[in-house]
Amino acid sequence: MTVRKIALIPAYMPTPAMLPMIEELNENDFECIVVNDGSGNVFDDLFAKVRETSVVIDHPRNFGKGAALRTGLTYILGHITTPFVVVTLDADGQHLVSDALRVCERAVERPDALVLGCRSFDGKVPAKSRLGNSITKVVYRLATGVKVSDTQTGLRAFSDRLIKRLLQISGDRYEYETNMLMELARDGVQLLEVPIKTIYIDDNSSSHFSPVQDSFRIYKEIIKFSASSLIGFVTDYLCYILLSILTGSVVFSNIAARVVSSGVNFTINRRVVFKSDKPLAKSAVQYFSLAAAILAVNTLLLALLTGAAGINMYIAKIITECAMFFVSFTVQKGVVFRRKGESSNA
């Protein structure tokens, strides 16, 4: 059976470079679906040319790249017969069609995986692009345990089997692509990498990525979790110091302080960080089961550091808390406070 090749292109104020890219995609048997994400009337002539060969879906205003991708996926789900593979490309002409073909072929071979066209970042690369990817891939690996060399690539391929899951992922702007990697890794979906050519036109001046606003959107869940954890840590640490002074017992002080701080942390994470809609009782049982498991590991590690290693008890406390941070984040997001409609294999 022939697998249809679909090119999905979110476009906001695109450059004329999009036209030859679409032409070459059509020549290589791709069916192109372009989402005009509120580019404005000045781009009407450009999109009129695109409509001659491709499906164009118009947003009345700019909703963001994530929203545009979901609009395109919704159209594909309702209008394209299976089997098919979708390849997402940026509208600025910085993805080669030859690379799009290679990630597409890989997705045909592995229909249950997400295929990423990963840049090597060799040669002349804009500083903000190099720095942004370096930070994101470190944060991503710490949060998921999965190594991805290019977390910000817009060239991705996946089969019809993943469409419904991708439509459940939140994020209207650039954070959608990061959330996609986070959610699919948590679901156990394999992420496959295909090396592609690194191309930046005019130092990536056509990019609409806002270093401050969009970076905050990408990292905001981890930032909020970090703030909540800091509050919990301060509560825990102050109780630990007070109780250790009063009792002189490392183990008792650690356990008692954790009981107090866990209650504070649970409330903040449930209501503010993850905004969970799961029943309170179910979340509480899962959270405190996780807290008990982490406490056991935490206490064992603390005892080893203060006893066998001879590390100062206050420094040892900081080391153990840092070690368990991302374990706690991953399990809380994937299991404890998972919202309805999200799947998880955690």
d(CA 178, CA 66): 10
- Best CA proximity match to 96, nearest among 153, 174, 173: 153
Model confidence pTM above 0.85: no
The answer to whether residues 280 and 195 belong to one domain is no
Is-contact 153 116, C-beta < 8 A? yes
Domain boundary among 188, 209, 230: 209
The answer to whether residues 172 and 251 belong to one domain is no
Percent share of the chain, pLDDT over 70: 80
Q: Residue 30's beta-bridge partner residues?
A: 5
- Best CA proximity match to 286, nearest among 216, 324, 221, 337: 337
d(CA 252, CA 244): 8
Segment 106-135 shows an average pLDDT of: 76
Give 274 or 1, the one with higher predicted confidence: 1
Digit-coded pLDDT (tens) for 204-249: 444 544 555 545 555 666 667 567 777 888 898 899 899 999 998 8
Give residue 339's pLDDT.
58
The answer to whether residues 200 and 246 belong to one domain is no
* Whether the predicted pLDDT of 191 surpasses 80: yes
Give 82 or 233, the one with higher predicted confidence: 82
Question: Is residue 345 in some structural domain?
Answer: no
DSSP string, 41-91: GGGHHHHHHHHTTSEEEEESS---HHHHHHHHHHHHHHH-PSSEEEEE--T
Question: Is residue 230 in some structural domain?
Answer: yes
Amino acid at 224: K
The answer to whether residues 8 and 154 belong to one domain is yes
Is-contact 239 256, C-beta < 8 A? yes
Domain that holds residue 239: 219-336
d(CA 60, CA 134): 35
- Among left, alpha and beta (phi > 0; psi -120 to 50; other), residue 123 is left
* Whether the predicted pLDDT of 81 surpasses 80: yes
Domain boundary among 209, 234, 265: 209
Amino acid at 2: T
CA distances (Å), origin 24, targets 44, 47, 93, 155, 226: 21, 16, 11, 16, 46
d(CA 328, CA 346): 12
Q: Residue 84's beta-bridge partner residues?
A: 4
Segment 289-308 shows an average pLDDT of: 85
d(CA 198, CA 118): 8
Give residue 214's pLDDT.
47
Task: Quote the radius of gyration of the chain (alpha carbons, Å).
Answer: 24
Q: What is the mean pLDDT of the chain?
A: 83
Give residue 218's pLDDT.
56
Segment 60-79 shows an average pLDDT of: 96
The answer to whether residues 190 and 280 belong to one domain is no
Helix (H, G, I), strand (E, B) or coil at 252: helix
Q: Residue 5's beta-bridge partner residues?
A: 30, 85
CA distances (Å), origin 183, targets 20, 74, 114, 131, 344: 34, 19, 12, 23, 8
C-alpha angle 27/30/36, rounded to 5°? Answer: 110
Confidence class for position 343, pLDDT limits 50, 70, 90: very low
The answer to whether residues 51 and 171 belong to one domain is yes
User: What's the total number of domains in the chain?
Assistant: 2
Domain boundary among 209, 235, 260: 209
The answer to whether residues 127 and 266 belong to one domain is no
Cβ neighbors of 173 (< 8 A, separation 6 or more) are 64, 65, 66, 67, 214, 217
Digit-coded pLDDT (tens) for 17-33: 899 999 999 999 999 99
Helix (H, G, I), strand (E, B) or coil at 207: coil
The answer to whether residues 203 and 291 belong to one domain is no
Sheet (strand 4-11) strand order: 55-59, 30-37, 4-11, 84-88, 156-159, 114-119, 191-196
Confidence class for position 39, pLDDT limits 50, 70, 90: very high
